[in-house]
Amino acid sequence: MSLNRNEKAAVISEVAAQAAKSQTLAIAEYRGLTVEALNKLRVDARSKGVYLHVLKNTLARRAVAGTPFEPAAELMVGPLIYGFSEDAVAAAKVVADFAKSNDKLILKGGAYNGKALDVNSLKTLASVPSKEILLSQLAGLLKSPVQRTAAVLAALAAKRGEPAAA
């Protein structure tokens, strides 16, 4: 069933609004995926804050025109699913992780920071830890020297309180 002109305009404006607040676009070909597998991918994407949508490529090209995702327009060929995310790695991670367990989903590329990403770049972006993990690692690194200093001071205080050995 095809969309009328008003419905197409609504889809374009919805996707353009999503693109305006997103950092990353991940594109994958879903040819051969079962409805069950596609629904599982959608549920996983939704739980991780990724806007996942199957779009006609002409509508997708119009929606990303004038956005940082415009360089990815050349990748928009074939039956594609588009994933947008506000988190820099979430869309790439969701699509790449699903592609590992399902060989019917084929990564095509995407866009990040105004540059088109090829398949390998998308996989590299997907391997970056999430923002929360990076922040916790940074907090651990900052906490480590303070803990060591406190342990040394506690040891010195304990040593001073001990009777002197003759």
Q: Answer yes or no: is pLDDT of 163 > 60.
A: no
Asked if 29 and 99 touch (Cβ cutoff 8 Å), the reply is no
Q: Residues of the chain with pLDDT > 90: what percent?
A: 32
Model confidence at 164, pLDDT cuts 50, 70, 90, reads very low
Q: Answer yes or no: is pLDDT of 27 > 90.
A: yes
Site of tokens 């540059």:
115
93-121 average pLDDT score: 90
Helices (H), 21-80: 35-47, 57-64
| Threshold 0.95, pTM exceeds | no
Question: Which of 2-16, 72-86, 96-110 shows the lowest mean pLDDT across its residues?
Answer: 2-16
What is the model's pLDDT at position 41? 92
Q: Answer yes or no: is pLDDT of 40 > 90.
A: yes
Question: Which of 70-79, 114-123, 133-142 shows the lowest mean pLDDT across its residues?
Answer: 133-142
- What is the spatial distance between Cα 50 and Cα 86, in angstroms, rounded to a whole number? 8
102-116 average pLDDT score: 89
Which residue spans within 5-164 are E strands per DSSP?
A: 24-29, 50-54, 80-85, 106-112, 115-117
Q: Answer yes or no: is pLDDT of 54 > 70.
A: yes
What is the model's pLDDT at position 80? 92
What is the model's pLDDT at position 162? 59
Asked if 50 and 23 touch (Cβ cutoff 8 Å), the reply is no
Which residues neighbour 30 within 8 Å (Cβ) at sequence distance 6 or greater?
Answer: 38, 54, 79, 80, 81, 104, 105
Q: Answer yes or no: is pLDDT of 166 > 80.
A: no
50-61 average pLDDT score: 91
